[in-house]
């Protein structure tokens, strides 16, 4: 039975609630009332605040987890993509016809085998604790039970007494060469700073900047413009158009298209392009050799043998991918006026595809230093530098006096520059005049180009060394040619780069008695990289990839230097640098259209003839042959060196060598990326 409700207590409770409110449960004590208020209300507010903070914290954690998951997924996908690409290229390489091993590759394979064996040996020694208490020959002989300890003790004795001393001597020699080359680089940079600070520039005696129509054409010298090319399907139109629209009297210039193409389709396209410009009133002729002897040098030599060449005073040379601006001749020819001893006016290159990929960005750093600093300083202070083979204007008299174009090397441009210098002629470099061109976008093309650029100078040095000694120039110029131009910048630079960072550094990990200082590995190369990147400050974020990639390219440059110096088979190999046809097409088309309209009005060329030429051109474009399918490939020397450096990095990790470990790790990874052809243009 339920207890009956207490009516008296209920009435009392209602009175207390109405009188004091719901706050005072026990009105007998004000302190208790206050105390209870704090106890009841405070925890409620704190609990609400804690609940809100926890919710915010949970959202932050979720966002962090999502970012981490996205990063892991990105890295995983990238790693899987690299593995798949490497696997595909390895399979493709196995299916390709076998290639003969070069001498350098065989040496690198032996080095790799020795490195792996030594690493296994050092790992055994490390886990047995011999690194902390290395055994001696005497102690190991006393304990004949452990054969491995006896062998390791003898290995320590051999490397300390017989292997480390000659290696240390080689290290010291390479360090000296490295410092000499670094001093040369610093001097060049200081010379460029002096030129910029003083505002030094070559001065022209005459100005052709006014309109051609308002001047007498006799005031303009006769200029021959040459475009040597070979199977240049991608770039022939833009190069011919850029040369034909030069702002120069048409009766004072002649364009020679020197075509060595063996592709009949390309020959037809170039002929049609030449006919189109002939109809527009441009003095342009097409020359084709049946026998391509001497490559580019033979092509230029054949063109200069024409009878009409004697009517011209200067010759401007442009490779097939170069696009000079319409005022190119106006900005270069005036420097010959009043300077009868000047043989060459060289302009700077500018690149339309320098931001296409990482490879083109790194090339731009190198070539910016070459033109902005090396060419400018040498041109101003000693009036000599190597001709770049294009985007320059020669005095024809100087070419004839020094013997003309010779076919004895693959660097005919450097050859004729050295011979002209020995004959007493001077060169002028104009840094303000730029000529658009294209950089190689694939590593294969870039590697072949660099092989030719570094084997040719050694051929030339071997051929002209006696001529330099017998020449009538001063001993200062002879010393500059032999020691700076050839030995230091063409021979010593690739030698110490490859030997020091690809051979000696890994060896010092397995022969720790011979030491390579950290400032040679990291600090001085870093400083030199900063100096190299000064002419292209927008490329500063790529300074580390640039340093690592230059060390990687030292393999190709060293191999090319050796082949050129000792007349090996690959030293005379000439492969035309393939172009992609990337250019400032919009500006060029607009320029050509404007020039075409003015020429059509001036020469009253009928539209029907022009349309017939274009129809023929379009027909030939439709019937052009399809070239070989491009593909990426594997590079065995780079891959073998990658494994050598990564093996040495593991050995460095056992010895706790910080800077050496990181350098070997990153350099080995760079060799791996290059060996898998993951830099530059990627072809699926």
Residues involved in catalysis: 260, 413
130 three-state secondary structure: coil
For residue 227, which phi and psi values (nearest 5 degrees)?
A: -125, 90
Q: Which structure tokens are listed for 548?
A: 């690592």
Whether residue 505 contacts residue 521, with contact meaning beta carbons closer than 8 Å, is answered with yes
Alpha helices (runs of H) in 505-584, residue ranges in sequence order: 505-510, 518, 524-533, 543-565
DSSP code of 537? G
Q: At a CB cut-off of 8 Å and minimum separation 6, what does 664 contact?
A: 505, 506, 509, 645, 646, 648, 649, 652
Q: At a CB cut-off of 8 Å and minimum separation 6, what does 488 contact?
A: 180, 181, 184
Beta bridge partners of 253: 223
482 three-state secondary structure: helix
Edge to edge, the sheet with strand 284-288 lists 284-288, 253-259, 223-229, 314-317, 392-395, 342-351, 426-437
Whether residue 258 contacts residue 226, with contact meaning beta carbons closer than 8 Å, is answered with yes
For residue 100, which phi and psi values (nearest 5 degrees)?
A: -75, 140
Residue (of 411, 227, 400) closest to 316 by Cα position? 227
DSSP code of 318? -
- C-alpha 130/C-alpha 125 separation (Å) is 5
| Chain centre to alpha carbon of residue 431 | 21
Scanning the structure block, which residue is given the tokens 């990105």?
74
- C-alpha 453/C-alpha 183 separation (Å) is 23
- C-alpha 124/C-alpha 667 separation (Å) is 26
- C-alpha 173/C-alpha 500 separation (Å) is 10
Q: At a CB cut-off of 8 Å and minimum separation 6, what does 470 contact?
A: none
For residue 652, which phi and psi values (nearest 5 degrees)?
A: -65, -35
**Degrees (nearest 5) of the Cα angle 194, 195, 198?**
80
Torsion of CA 97, 101, 105, 106, to 10 degrees: 130
């Amino acid at each position: 039975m339920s207890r009956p409700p207490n009516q008296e207590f209920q009435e009392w409770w209602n009175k207390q609630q109405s009188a004091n409110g719901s706050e005072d449960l026990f009105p007998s004590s004000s302190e208790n009332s206050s105390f209870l208020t704090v106890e009841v209300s405070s925890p409620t507010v704190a609990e609400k605040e804690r609940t809100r903070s926890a919710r915010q914290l949970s959202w932050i954690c979720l966002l962090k987890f999502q970012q981490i998951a996205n990063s892991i997924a990105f890295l995983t996908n990238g790693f899987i993509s690299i593995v798949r690409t490497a696997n595909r290229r390895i399979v493709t390489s196995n299916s390709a016809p076998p290639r003969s091993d070069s001498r350098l590759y065989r040496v690198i394979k032996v080095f790799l085998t020795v490195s792996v064996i030594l690493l296994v040996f050092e790992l055994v020694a490390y886990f047995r604790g011999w690194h902390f208490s290395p055994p001696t020959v005497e102690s190991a002989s006393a304990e004949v039970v452990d054969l491995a300890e006896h062998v390791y003790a003898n290995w320590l004795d051999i490397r300390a007494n017989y292997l480390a001393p000659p290696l240390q001597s080689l290290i010291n020699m390479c360090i000296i060469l490295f410092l000499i080359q670094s001093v040369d680089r610093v001097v060049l940079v200081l010379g460029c700073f002096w030129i910029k600070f003083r505002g030094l520039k070559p001065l022209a005696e005459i100005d052709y900047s006014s309109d051609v129509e308002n001047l007498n054409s006799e005031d303009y010298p006769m200029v021959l413009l040459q475009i040597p090319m070979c199977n240049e399907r991608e770039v022939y139109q833009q190069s011919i158009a850029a040369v034909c629209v030069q702002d120069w009297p048409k009766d004072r210039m002649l364009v020679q298209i020197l075509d060595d193409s063996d592709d009949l389709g390309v020959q037809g396209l170039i002929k049609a392009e030449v006919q189109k410009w002939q109809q527009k009133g441009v003095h342009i002729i097409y020359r084709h050799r049946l026998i391509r002897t001497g490559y580019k040098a033979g092509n230029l030599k054949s063109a200069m043998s024409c009878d009409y060449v004697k009517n011209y005073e200067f010759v401007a040379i442009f490779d097939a991918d170069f696009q000079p601006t319409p005022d190119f001749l106006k900005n270069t020819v005036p420097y010959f006026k009043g300077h009868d001893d000047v043989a060459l006016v060289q302009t700077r290159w500018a690149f339309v595809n320098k931001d296409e990929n990482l490879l083109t960005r790194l090339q731009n750093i190198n070539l910016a230093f070459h033109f902005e600093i090396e060419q400018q300083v040498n041109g101003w202070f000693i009036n000599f530098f190597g001709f770049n083979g294009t985007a320059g204007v020669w005095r024809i008299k100087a070419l004839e006096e020094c013997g003309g174009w010779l076919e004895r090397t693959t660097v005919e441009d450097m050859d004729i520059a050295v011979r002209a210098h020995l004959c007493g002629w001077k060169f002028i470099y104009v840094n303000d005049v730029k000529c658009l061109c294209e950089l190689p976008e694939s590593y294969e093309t870039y590697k072949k180009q660099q092989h030719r650029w570094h084997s040719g100078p050694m051929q030339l040095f071997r051929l002209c060394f006696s001529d330099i000694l017998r020449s009538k120039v001063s001993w200062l110029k002879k010393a500059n040619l032999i020691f700076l131009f050839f030995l230091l910048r063409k021979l010593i630079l690739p030698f110490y780069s490859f030997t020091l960072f690809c051979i000696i550094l890994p060896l010092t990990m397995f022969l720790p008695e011979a030491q390579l200082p950290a400032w040679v590995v990291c600090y001085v190369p870093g400083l030199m990289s900063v100096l190299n990147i000064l002419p292209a400050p927008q490329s500063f974020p790529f300074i580390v990839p640039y340093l690592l990639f230059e060390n990687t390219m030292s393999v190709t440059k060293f191999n090319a230097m050796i082949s050129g110096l000792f007349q090996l088979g690959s030293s005379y190999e000439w492969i035309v640098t393939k172009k992609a046809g990337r250019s400032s097409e919009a500006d060029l088309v607009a320029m050509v259209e404007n020039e075409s309209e003015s020429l059509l009005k001036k020469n009253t060329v009928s539209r029907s003839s022009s349309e017939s030429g274009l129809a023929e051109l379009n027909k030939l474009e439709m019937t052009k042959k399809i070239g070989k399918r491009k593909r990426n490939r594997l590079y065995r020397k780079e891959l073998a060196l990658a494994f050598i450096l990564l093996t040495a990095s593991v050995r460095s990790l056992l010895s706790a060598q910080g800077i050496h470990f990181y350098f070997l790790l990153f350099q080995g990874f760079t060799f791996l990326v290059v060996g898998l052809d993951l830099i530059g243009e990627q072809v699926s």
